[in-house]
Amino acid sequence: MERIPIETCQEIIGYTFNDPDLLYRALTHASVAPTRNQSNERMEFLGDAVLGMVVCQKLYEHADELSEGEMTKIKSLVVSRQTCAEVAQDLRIATLMSMGKGMSHSAGPPRSVTAAVFEAIIGAIYIDGGLEPAREFVLNRLQPHLDKALDDEHHSNYKSLLQQYTQQRWNTTPGYHLLDEKGPDHSKAFEVAVEVSWRNFPSAWGKTKKEAEQEAARRALLKLGLLSEEDPLNSSE
């Protein structure tokens, strides 16, 4: 099996290994490895876990206005095979891999292979240097994707838009108050009103508390002149 020039690999990924064999392993596809356990598959498994943890921690620390479900949605987008494959292609990592002749063609190796090698390199860095260099590598490569996912979520989320505005304008966050609920347990409706500092806004009903909060936030944005009834976000009516 041909040995890849280690200096080239390290320059591309921006990390110098204490144990270069870990990088060779990360770039070795199962199609050319003596055994599957000598390929990058085990490192891919580890790197996938490290990748998810780093992105989750970043979301938890820097997107405190998002719910668990919203963070899960963003995390799924950012750590997806498609995103990992795009990053690997941008780095041209696939050109450095050792793999069987049948694995590559004019368009390059399959996306699943390029995504896997990106995760394997994360795993290799984690083994070699610990969490901090792995975190740095992940965030350096994925921050633009994370920023875009957050921006898309914020612009489809009335609560996020309202919180962003009130923090910038008044250095405060909105408060949501449950005013009423009605209906049987299997089909309840909830009335919620939003308050920003000294100002109250029209209440709203929803089939869930979260739906009512979103509608209350939308109505507050309307009152503040930050949203119009024709706004593309407006799907409530």
> Is there a contact between 23 and 9 (Cβ–Cβ < 8 Å)?
yes
Q: Of the residues 44, 70, 119, 153, which is catalytic?
A: 119
Q: Is 61 a catalytic residue?
A: no
Question: Among this protein's residues, is 180 annotated catalytic?
Answer: no
Integer Cα distance of 203 and 212 in angstroms:
8
- The one catalytic residue in 44, 48, 70, 153 is 48
Q: Which are the catalytic amino acids?
A: 48, 119
